[in-house]
Amino acid sequence: MLTDNPEFLKLRELMVSEQIERRGITSINVLNAMRAVPRHLFVAQKLLNEAYADYPLPIGLNQTISQPYIVALMTDALGLKSHHKVLEIGTGCGYQSAVLAEIAAQVYTIEILPELAKRADNILQNLGYRNIHGKCGDGLTDWAEQAPFDRIIVTAAPLNLPLELLKQLTFDGCMVIPFGSYSQDLYRIIRKSNNQIEQQRLVPVRFVAMTGKVEKTTV
């Protein structure tokens, strides 16, 4: 694991206390994960001074690293346990993957853009994560051989809820996903044992669009 900088440690603690705890996130696991992951290592050198700011940042290729609070909120909504196997769709820079891996047993993450997938893999390997399994491919189907997953998190927005992803959840498993076009909302979806779903709207959000097979396969 790479060594950390005391100044960044201080900024990270402020991020957790002022941006996350203040907004009502109380899970010790989530707060500790947000404290543990060095967010500044996932952003461009020119943006280091903004790494712990309360807004998303560009990571190239028209993609972003999410606002810290949204990362914490989505992680909290998953209700992660230490034995869980998680699917993450949209690796991006790898920051959310690392936060998940601080709590869950195994994280399977996928990124459709090869340059981002390679960059994220390099960062995560350098940080010493061995419970994160990454690949470049289509998020809808390309980790399906590892299903079922206890939890699924989607960090890009399809227009509607994808049926194929629901099939990859365990019964009573949870998925956190944004969907919509220009107007998007974040949802917590539970797959019930009778194959029905329980759906809870969380907050309005703005994510990049999910691309690939999902554009043709939604419910």
Q: Show which residues are catalytic.
A: 66
Q: Are 100 and 106 spatial neighbours (Cβ–Cβ below 8 Å)?
A: no
What contacts 11, CB < 8 A, 6 or more positions away?
A: 40, 51, 52
Burial zone of 35 (CB within 10 Å; 0-12 exposed, 13-18 middle, 19+ buried): middle
Q: Under DSSP, is residue 89 helix (H, G, I), strand (E, B) or coil?
A: strand
- Fill in the DSSP letter of residue 197: E
Name the nearest CA neighbour of 39 among 29, 26, 48. 48
Q: Which of 180, 179, 161 is nearest to 218 (CA)?
A: 161
Q: What residues pair up with 60 in beta bridges, in sequence order?
A: 63
- The answer to whether residues 112 and 88 touch, using CB atoms and an 8 Å cutoff, is no
